[in-house]
Amino acid sequence: MELVMLGTGSPLPDARRAGPAQLVGVDGRWFLIDAGRGCLMRLVAAGVAPTAVEQLLVTHLHSDHVTDVNDLITTRWIGGLPPAPLPVVGPPGTDQFVDDTLQMLGPDIAWRVGHHDDLPSGPEVTVTETEGTTDGSIGDVLLDDGVRITAAPTDHRPVHPTVAYRLDVDGRSVVLGGDSVPCDGLDALCAGADVYVQTVVRDDLISAIPLPRLQDVLDYHSTVADAARTAARGGVGTLVLNHCVPAPGVDPDGPNGRAEWLAMAAEHFDGEILLPDDLDRIPVGG
């Protein structure tokens, strides 16, 4: 099992970091979690064609996590020989979001169907909505060929409902936490996980900036310390800091550099801690 950090950025455009998107590879099978800004560019840079994505898992419908869903739908459709359905899993509201996206793409779909005889109809997208459970009893999204995907509810209110995902294969596991403050759902998914990926913010820096709209992000995101404590409670092997706000500085040892972020997390978690760049590849388990 391998985790590929396609996009590690935040809602603020960053030339170095694409929008939130992670890719989990299992023996040539690829599962995409969120599809933020620039996702398809990073997907191809990672050597994975859009047609190779087996399933898209959406944590929530904030725009920065779904801006490239339309691109994934279209590119996968026109690149498929023949086109294959795109399975999408997400919280309640995802079905309506996909319907709205297809409606927005309506003129483009009509032109392509009208011009290409081997495209008799538009893209097929199948949607499964889930709120998950904290005990996993009815939280399974997929159990097929050795891959188990479990969803659990998270707390990103006022955005609601939101979910996180855990993928298990042959005793190896990775948790994609999305945007959330600490909650029972994250604790349930993280228990014994090899890798835990979590959106994090620097509360010390954000609270010093007198912009209410920026300070509001503290209400519904995990701080670095929050994520580290969640990882420690779960006994995870590796904590991955992701979707960092504000974006870490270019100099890893300078102000707001990677070293500061890692040191803050290390105060609460003694496992491996990573703050990756786009396209970094992280092995999961043995």
- Enzyme catalytic residues: 64
- Alpha-carbon distance 141 to 59, whole Å? 13
- Alpha-carbon distance 66 to 62, whole Å? 7
- Alpha-carbon distance 196 to 175, whole Å? 5
Cα separations in angstroms, 157 against 160, 221, 243? 6, 9, 18
Beta strands 280-283; 2-7: pairing state: antiparallel
Phi-psi domain of 40 (left: phi exceeds 0; alpha: psi -120 through 50; beta: other): alpha
DSSP-assigned letters across all residues of 175-215: EE--S-BS-HHHHHHHTT-SEEEEEEE-HHHHTTS--HHHH
> How big is the chain, counted in residues?
286
- Alpha-carbon distance 142 to 281, whole Å? 24
At 57 the three-state DSSP class reads strand
